[in-house]
A and B are shown apart, each in its own frame.
Chain A
Amino acid sequence: GAGVSQSPSNKVTEKGKDVELRCDPISGHTALYWYRQSLGQGLEFLIYFQGNSAPDKSGLPSDRFSAERTGGSVSTLTIQRTQQEDSAVYLCASSYGTPKVYEQYFGPGTRLTVT
């Protein structure tokens, strides 16, 4: 079946520009997560959507980062005024229910390079 998809797969942008990263979760999954993976840093939690509840934004590193999830499905992560330290692989995941029990299914990621 279809897994989590992300677009674009690679994005190169100039410092100061805004970027939008897209995530299409698995159909029927109510929970959606964004992570950032930097070399040697593991996975850094960014934001979590669960159904119609207010998102958990506790992991967003600055107010330049925001995300929305429209219609409980597709999500967009927006980074405004990109900085070189934003360069990383941005991973999206979805799960059937709460992260307590259900495993997360990850997309292939978007590699962002800020020049």
Chain B
Amino acid sequence: AQSVAQPEDQVNVAEGNPLTVKCTYSVSGNPYLFWYVQYPNRGLQFLLKYITGDNLVKGSYGFEAEFNKSQTSFHLKKPSALVSDSALYFCAVRGNSGNTPLVFGKGTRLSVIA
């Protein structure tokens, strides 16, 4: 069975500082990994994905994520946080067998403080 864990319910960071939102996963076979963001009173938006290729994936709004196979992690990062980055972030994963949809983590609330 596939699963994803976001160990932090809440991450607080000062504006201008780098941010990291953590995600670890468990799947059989090679993983397909995604990050989504949910801004207040808005739907989920796709940020980035890792399917194959370079371990460092760049996405929307200056975010990037690094796939680390040995640590089974896919942490979301941004070099300099903005107040407007404050939102709920979801990591999602699926394996490459069968036809099961994505499994989402419980989400991490990011607060960027001016």
Q: Assess whether A106 is interfacial by the CB under 8 Å rule.
A: yes
Do A99 and B46 form a contact, CB below 8 Å, given A45-B101, A48-B101?
no
Residue of B43, B90, B103 with highest tally of chain A CB at under 10 A:
B43
Q: Whole-angstrom distance from the CB of B84 to the nearest CB of chain A?
A: 19
A: number of interface residues (CB 8 Å): 24
Residues of B near A101 (CB, < 8 A) are 32, 51
> Are B104 and A43 in contact (CB-based, < 8 A)?
yes
Give A residues with C-beta under 8 Å from B.
Answer: 4, 33, 35, 40-43, 45, 48, 50, 56, 91, 93, 98-101, 103-109
One of A42, A56, A109 near B101 (C-beta < 8 A): A56
- The 8 A CB mask of B38-50 against A (1 = contact, 0 = none) is 0000111110010
One of A4, A40, A48, A108 near B42 (C-beta < 8 A): A108
Q: Assess whether B100 is interfacial by the CB under 8 Å rule.
A: yes
> Are B106 and A42 in contact (CB-based, < 8 A)?
yes
> Are B106 and A56 in contact (CB-based, < 8 A)?
no
B46: nearest chain-A partner, CB-CB: A103
The distance in angstroms between the C-alpha atoms of A103 and B104, with both chains bound, is 13
One of B51, B94, B106 near A40 (C-beta < 8 A): B106
Q: Whole-angstrom distance from the CB of B58 to the nearest CB of chain A?
A: 15
What 14 new A-B contacts, CB under 8 Å, besides A45-B103, A45-B104, A106-B45?
A35-B104, A40-B106, A42-B104, A42-B107, A43-B104, A91-B43, A91-B44, A93-B44, A99-B94, A99-B100, A99-B101, A100-B99, A101-B51, A106-B36
> Are B32 and A100 in contact (CB-based, < 8 A)?
yes
Q: Whole-angstrom distance from the CB of B63 to the nearest CB of chain A?
A: 14
> Are A103 and B34 in contact (CB-based, < 8 A)?
yes
> Are A104 and B102 in contact (CB-based, < 8 A)?
yes
Please provide the 10 A-B residue pairs with the shortest distance between their CB atoms, ordered closest to farther: A42-B106, A43-B104, A106-B44, A103-B46, A106-B43, A108-B43, A48-B101, A99-B101, A42-B107, A99-B102
